[in-house]
A and B are shown apart, each in its own frame.
Chain A
Amino acid sequence: MSHAQLAPPIYGLLAEFDTATDLVNATRSAYAAGYRKMDAYSPFPIEEASEAVGFHKSRVPLIVLVGGILGGASGYGLQYWINCISYPLNIGGKPYQSWPAFIVPTFELTILFAGLCGVFGMFALNGLPMPHHPLFNVDRFSRVTRDKFFLCVEAADPKFDLADTELFMRSLQPASISEVPH
Chain B
Amino acid sequence: MQQGPEERTILQDVPWPDEPPVMAPGQTFGSVTDTIADAVLKRPIGLGWVLGLFIAMSMVGVLMMAVTYLFLVGVGIWGINIPIGWGFAIINFVWWIGIGHAGTLISAILLLLKQTWRNSINRFAEAMTLFAVACAGMFPLLHLGRPWLAYWMFPYPSSMGVWPQFRSPLVWDVFAVSTYATISAVFWYVGLVPDLATMREKAKHPLTRKMYGILGMGWRGSARHWKNYEALYILLAGIATPLVLSVHTVVSFDFAVAIMPGWHTTIFPPYFVAGAIYSGFAMVLVLAIPIRKYYHLEGMITMRHLQNSAKIMLATGLIVAYGYAFEAFIAFYSGSTYERFMMQNRWFGQYAVFYWMLILFNILIPQVLWFPKVRANIKALFCISLVILVGMWLERFVIIVTSLSRDFLPSSWGHYTATRWDYAILAGTIGFFSMAMFIFIRIMPSISIFEMRTLLPEAEVKAK
Contacts from A to B (Cβ < 8 Å): 19-21, 24-25, 27, 39-50, 52-53, 55, 58-61, 64, 68, 78-79, 82-83, 86-87, 89, 91, 94, 98, 101-102, 104-105, 107-109, 111-112, 114-116, 118-119, 121-123, 125-126, 128-133, 135-136, 141-147
Known: A52-B223, A145-B194, A146-B202. 14 other contacts (CB 8 A): A39-B222, A44-B194, A46-B226, A49-B461, A55-B223, A60-B232, A78-B155, A86-B163, A105-B172, A109-B175, A128-B225, A130-B218, A146-B198, A147-B30
Pairwise interchain contact B165-A83, C-beta atoms closer than 8 A: yes
Give complex CA distance A133, B197 in Å: 13
Pairwise interchain contact A82-B166, C-beta atoms closer than 8 A: yes
Give complex CA distance A59, B186 in Å: 19
Contact among A122, A135, A143 for B229, CB-based, below 8 A: A122
Is B147 an interface residue, CB under 8 A from the partner?
no
Q: Taking the nearest CB of chain B, how far is it from the CB of A94, in angstroms?
A: 6
A119-B186 in contact given A82-B166, A109-B175 (Cβ < 8 Å) = yes
Pairwise interchain contact B239-A114, C-beta atoms closer than 8 A: yes
Chain B 199-254 interface residues, beta-carbon cutoff 8 Å to A: 200-202, 213-214, 217-232, 235-236, 239-240, 242-243, 246, 250, 253
Give complex CA distance A136, B176 in Å: 42
Is B68 an interface residue, CB under 8 A from the partner?
no
Pairwise interchain contact A128-B217, C-beta atoms closer than 8 A: yes
Contact among B222, B230, B240, B453 for A41, CB-based, below 8 A: B222
Q: How many residues of B contact A (CB 8 A)?
A: 73
Pairwise interchain contact B167-A91, C-beta atoms closer than 8 A: yes
Q: List 5 A-B contacts (CB under 8 A).
A: A44-B194, A58-B231, A112-B183, A116-B182, A147-B33
Pairwise interchain contact B4-A47, C-beta atoms closer than 8 A: yes
Q: Taking the nearest CB of chain A, how far is it from the CB of B105, in angstroms?
A: 16
| Chain A residue contacts of B194, Cβ below 8 A | 43-44, 145
Give complex CA distance A145, B192 in Å: 13
| Chain B residue contacts of A61, Cβ below 8 A | 231, 235
A126-B175 in contact given A19-B458, A119-B186 (Cβ < 8 Å) = no
B131-162 CB mask vs A (1 if < 8 Å, else 0) is 00000000000000000000000010000011
Contact among A27, A111, A131, A146 for B201, CB-based, below 8 A: A146
Give complex CA distance A52, B227 in Å: 12
Give complex CA distance A40, B168 in Å: 52
Contact among A41, A115, A123, A146 for B29, CB-based, below 8 A: A146
Give complex CA distance A98, B167 in Å: 7
Is B315 an interface residue, CB under 8 A from the partner?
no
A135-B223 in contact given A44-B459, A79-B166, A83-B163 (Cβ < 8 Å) = no
Give complex CA distance A83, B235 in Å: 32
Q: Taking the nearest CB of chain B, how far is it from the CB of A4, in angstroms?
A: 25
Pairwise interchain contact A144-B221, C-beta atoms closer than 8 A: yes
* Residue of chain B at shortest CB distance from A64: B235
| Chain B residue contacts of A27, Cβ below 8 A | 223
Pairwise interchain contact A128-B231, C-beta atoms closer than 8 A: no
Pairwise interchain contact A109-B223, C-beta atoms closer than 8 A: no
Is B436 an interface residue, CB under 8 A from the partner?
no
| Chain B residue contacts of A128, Cβ below 8 A | 193, 217-219, 225
* Residue of chain B at shortest CB distance from A144: B221
| Chain B residue contacts of A136, Cβ below 8 A | 218, 220
| Chain B residue contacts of A98, Cβ below 8 A | 166-167
Chain B 19-53 interface residues, beta-carbon cutoff 8 Å to A: 28-30, 33
Give complex CA distance A9, B246 in Å: 56
Q: Taking the nearest CB of chain B, how far is it from the CB of A127, in angstroms?
A: 8
Is B190 an interface residue, CB under 8 A from the partner?
yes
Closest A-B pairs by Cβ, 6 of them: A147-B29, A129-B217, A50-B227, A45-B226, A58-B231, A104-B172
Pairwise interchain contact B182-A123, C-beta atoms closer than 8 A: no
Q: How many inter-chain contacts with C-beta < 8 Å in the A-B complex?
A: 213
Is B460 an interface residue, CB under 8 A from the partner?
yes
Is B454 an interface residue, CB under 8 A from the partner?
yes
Pairwise interchain contact B217-A122, C-beta atoms closer than 8 A: no
| Chain A residue contacts of B229, Cβ below 8 A | 45, 122, 126
Pairwise interchain contact B236-A118, C-beta atoms closer than 8 A: yes
Most A Cβ at <10 Å: residue of B167, B223, B454: B223
| Chain B residue contacts of A89, Cβ below 8 A | 165
Q: Taking the nearest CB of chain A, how far is it from the CB of B241, in angstroms?
A: 10
Pairwise interchain contact A58-B223, C-beta atoms closer than 8 A: no
Pairwise interchain contact B224-A55, C-beta atoms closer than 8 A: yes
Give complex CA distance A45, B221 in Å: 8
Pairwise interchain contact B236-A126, C-beta atoms closer than 8 A: no
Q: Taking the nearest CB of chain B, how far is it from the CB of A144, in angstroms?
A: 5
Pairwise interchain contact B461-A46, C-beta atoms closer than 8 A: yes
Give complex CA distance A44, B33 in Å: 11
Is B464 an interface residue, CB under 8 A from the partner?
yes
Give complex CA distance A146, B460 in Å: 16
| Chain A residue contacts of B30, Cβ below 8 A | 146-147
Pairwise interchain contact B224-A142, C-beta atoms closer than 8 A: no
A101-B236 in contact given A41-B220, A43-B453, A131-B218 (Cβ < 8 Å) = no
Pairwise interchain contact A44-B183, C-beta atoms closer than 8 A: no
| Chain A residue contacts of B372, Cβ below 8 A | none
Give complex CA distance A114, B462 in Å: 36
Pairwise interchain contact A111-B224, C-beta atoms closer than 8 A: no
| Chain B residue contacts of A107, Cβ below 8 A | 242, 246
Is B110 an interface residue, CB under 8 A from the partner?
no
Contact among B163, B179, B201, B230 for A112, CB-based, below 8 A: B179
A145-B200 in contact given A19-B458, A43-B221, A105-B166 (Cβ < 8 Å) = yes
